[in-house]
Amino acid sequence: MTAFIFARKAVPALLAGAVVALAAWPAAAQPDDYPNKPITIVVGYPPGGSTDLTGRTLGIELSRRLGVPVIIDNVGGAGGAIGAQKVANAAPDGYTLLAGASNEIAISRLVSGSVKYELKNFTPIGLIATQPMVLVASAQSGVKTVDQFLKVVQGNPGKYSYGSSGVGTALHLAGEMVKDQGGLFMTHIPYRGVAPLLNDLLGNNIDYGIFALSSALPYIRSGKVMALGTTESKRSATTPDIAALAENPKLKGIDINLWFALMGPAQLPEAVASKLKKALNDALQAPELRKKLEDSGSTVSTLKVDMPKFLAEETAKYKKIVEFAKIKE
């Protein structure tokens, strides 16, 4: 079966061709005929990030298994919440799905009063992958290990700052967990994405930052930033040479990651949800998908995760951190 995947914010000429091609597809049918027209996967971020990579890679494999085109719709803004709201408001027919991350699915509504959706507004299809975050130091800081980091920051309360990609993001929460566990007094500096944070680290304008592992890997490998530790309880298989922060006795309780899940609107028909779950499980076994995501630092989901239980546990963890750090937008 030929796979199709389009991006709505692509080159205009390509988009025009895609629209003509899609016009030939029939209207939506009943659940037992699903799918009979293109499926849209919404990604709540611009092209190029870890969620976008995950959504696009999955889209190719879902298209092959479901036999219809899959369109990637990048709806950026509000830490992914605008895209998530679009899916929450969509018709529950299986033709509009969310490739979402922990940010917009579980965290945003805890920190922002402007987020109107809740978990009950979605039908969980399944977990796609998880990825640790990583605490890094600027090369000019002279700090190369987590022990040095703890000694320097504890010895100079309030002197140092760390950056993340924004208030209330998973990266921000990971930084606050480090502060809590380590008893550290540091200031959080929110950036509008990873790129400006990276520029300040490379320019020695800030000493520390929290990144998704996939975003930081090229700069860690080139020696432009120093990896101090990853945020899951065990080392990542992608970077076995980078210690987990939890290996340090002072940070042994740190276990937080980014995760990516496929979600549909609430009240998705069971027949449709079942087809999507099977297609997702099959897609996650594809060698091409596994290699691409694992090379980026992700661990592909291989277990049949109890999604309601998983989401409840993750939300409880995030809520505790949000309350500790008094994070509110």
Q: What gap in Å lies between CA 29 and CA 119, rounded to an integer?
A: 27
208-256 pLDDT, tens digit each: 999 999 889 999 999 999 999 999 999 998 899 999 999 999 999 999 9
Q: Report the 10 Å Cβ neighbour count for 82.
A: 17
Q: What pLDDT band is residue 11 in, cutting at 50, 70 and 90?
A: very low
Q: What is the pLDDT of residue 296?
A: 87
Least confident of 67-71, 96-100, 211-215, 324-328: 324-328
Least confident of 2-6, 182-186, 193-197: 2-6
Q: What pLDDT band is residue 153 in, cutting at 50, 70 and 90?
A: very high
Q: What pLDDT band is residue 192 in, cutting at 50, 70 and 90?
A: confident
Q: What pLDDT band is residue 30 in, cutting at 50, 70 and 90?
A: low
255-310 pLDDT, tens digit each: 999 999 999 999 999 999 999 999 999 999 999 999 999 988 899 997 788 999 99
Q: Is residue 193 pLDDT above 90, yes or no? A: no
Domains of the chain (ranges plus CATH)?
5-131+258-325 (3.40.190.150), 132-251 (3.40.190.10)
107-134 pLDDT, tens digit each: 999 998 889 999 999 999 999 999 999 9
Buried b / exposed e along 247-286 (16+ C-beta atoms within 10 A) = ebebbeebebbbbbbbbbbbebbeebbebbbebbeebbeb
Q: What is the pLDDT of residue 195?
A: 81
Q: What gap in Å lies between CA 169 and CA 112, rounded to an integer?
A: 11
Q: What gap in Å lies between CA 227 and CA 108, rounded to an integer?
A: 27
Please answer whether residues 176 and 321 qualify as being in contact, where contact means their C-beta atoms are separated by less than 8 angstroms.
yes
Determine how β-strand 96-101 pairs with β-strand 39-43: parallel
Q: What is the pLDDT of residue 5?
A: 54
Q: What pTM was computed for the model?
A: 0.82
Q: Is residue 3 pLDDT above 80, yes or no? A: no
Helices (H), 156-286: 170-182, 194-202, 213-221, 270-283
CB burial of residue 158 (10 Å; 0-12, 13-18, 19+) = exposed
Containing H/E element for 135? strand 122-138
Mean pLDDT on 81-93: 96
**Mean pLDDT (the chain, rounded):** 89
Q: What is the pLDDT of residue 16?
A: 37
Q: Is residue 176 pLDDT above 60, yes or no? A: yes
